[in-house]
A and B are shown apart, each in its own frame.
Chain A
Amino acid sequence: DTGVSQDPRHKITKRGQNVTFRCDPISEHNRLYWYRQTLGQGPEFLTYFQNEAQLEKSRLLSDRFSAERPKGSFSTLEIQRTEQGDSAMYLCASSLGGRVTDTQYFGPGTRLTVL
């Protein structure tokens, strides 16, 4: 297994366009997390899934953001009507269980630039 993968690694879009990112977690991991990280800051929690169920969403996740994990495997994060403030690194992480001591394994991230 090669770890958590994310696609694309970089995305440049114009303001107002929709974008979709994909995350493929480690195969046996049932927890999947999305974070957003701006330059020089720590990641901020957006949402997480336990298998296919989306259990929690941050207030940072506005109505323009939607995440899915339809079969409990890969996940997608869609941003509609992008704004310049959406420019950030979007990180995906997965873990085997839901304990706070479980290790989260992060993907390389998708760098979004909104022009």
Chain B
Amino acid sequence: TQLLEQSPQFLSIQEGENLTVYCNSSSVFSSLQWYRQEPGEGPVLLVTVVTGGEVKKLKRLTFQFGDARKDSSLHITAAQPGDTGLYLCAGGRLYTGNQFYFGTGTSLTVIP
């Protein structure tokens, strides 16, 4: 059982469209990280958010941590084919030995 549920599980959109990926849990996290993973490779960190309500922007990507630190969202503006990949959220919980709990993943395909 994974603590973090992501939606949607699969997303296929046209180049130039906007999209939002959600990461939800009933548990509180000390931090929330977003990764992107290419086939056959390990996840690569995109961003870490630690404060409830925090918003971070990385070019066309906007990340938000929920006020209660139980959920997060990733919004991509004007998606490009290079954005294609598996997007993973991961929550860190200090009081469980600094484990990171990964979400179920969102597979994004951007069609040129």
Contacts and interface: CB of A to CB of B under 8 A. Distances in A.
Interface stretch (A13-21, A78-86, A102-110): A102-110
Interface string B21-38: 000000001110101000
Interface in B38-58: 40-45, 48, 50
A67 interface: no
Contact of A103 (B29, B41, B48): B48
Given A100-B94, A101-B31, A103-B48, A109 B102 contact: no
Contacts of A107: 42
Nearest to B29: A100
The 6 closest A-B pairs by CB, nearest first: A100-B92, A106-B42, A42-B102, A100-B31, A100-B30, A56-B97
A32 interface: no
Interface residues of B, number: 33
Contacts of B45: 103-105
Interface of B: 2, 4, 6, 9, 29-31, 33, 35, 40-45, 48, 50, 86, 88, 90, 92-94, 97-105, 107
Contacts of B35: 106
A39 to B, nearest CB: 10
Interface in A86-115: 91, 93, 98-101, 103-109, 111
